Amino acid sequence: MGNPPFIGGQKLTGALGTDYREYLVNRLGGGQRGSADLCAYFLLRNLALAPGRRTGIIATNTIAQGDTREVGLDQATAAGWTVYRAIKSQPWPGTAALEVSLLWLGGSAGKDEQPVLDGDEVRGITPGLDPRSRVSGKPYRLAANAGQSFQGSNVLGKGFVLQPEVAQALIEKDPRNKDVLFPYLNGEDLNSRPDCSASRW
């Protein structure tokens, strides 16, 4: 059973260095590129070490989402591993404000073992930690949604965030500053400000 440290996929190189990131991608991830969180690589390493072809992991709920799922659980199931028990998402019982997933994987399920997802018996569990249904396989991005939205900015440090009056003062001081100063709108602003304006720059 493993409980890896959390490092998001966007922060792996900065936190651990380029060489370590390349080791994770090429040696553990089989060359699968993507912005996978560290827990995906811990899962793959656990599978390589699993005695009796059974293992478990406590991971952030991103283990079943996007690039992290593609690098970890998608590759695990393609290699013949089965998620036979899982809790898709629950709050971490400690002080950290995050959601975790609990997973148990096996090389094969016993003939009397019924997969259990979130406490309920199901026919099977997908890499997205959903109950298996008639429709199976890897989900694909819809081409019709291209260009509809984007992730937004990854602000790497609070030193880049300014109060509106500070930003305006910098623009007044030198109009060229308008080329690099923009309203910084996040979900909190959209949900708490009636005009959905940015509270920071």
pLDDT digits (tens, 9 = 90+) for 75-92: 999 998 999 999 999 998
- Is residue 88 located within the same domain as residue 163? no
Single residue among 87, 116, 131 that ends a domain in this structure? 131
Question: Does residue 197 lie in a domain region?
Answer: no
- Is residue 175 located within the same domain as residue 99? no
Q: Is the model's pLDDT at 154 over the cut of 80?
A: no
Q: Is residue 109 very low, low, confident or very high in pLDDT (cuts 50, 70, 90)?
A: low
- Is residue 115 located within the same domain as residue 179? no
Question: Does residue 177 lie in a domain region?
Answer: yes
Tell me which of 33 and 138 has the higher pLDDT. 33
- For the stretch 157-188, what's the b/e string if a residue is b when 16 or more beta carbons lie within 10 angstroms of its beta carbon? eeeeebeeeebeebbeeeeeeeeebeebbeee
Question: Does residue 145 lie in a domain region?
Answer: no
Question: Does residue 150 lie in a domain region?
Answer: no
**Stretch 123-137: mean pLDDT:** 85
Question: Does residue 169 lie in a domain region?
Answer: yes
Contact 109, 84 (CB under 8 A): yes
- The β-bridge partners of 41 are none
Say what the pLDDT of residue 165 is: 95
Say what the pLDDT of residue 110 is: 67
Number of compact structural domains in the chain: 2
Domain of residue 171, residue span? 158-192
- Is residue 89 located within the same domain as residue 184? no
Question: Does residue 140 lie in a domain region?
Answer: no
Say what the pLDDT of residue 76 is: 92
Share of the chain above pLDDT 70, in %: 98
Share of the chain above pLDDT 90, in %: 43
Say what the pLDDT of residue 98 is: 86
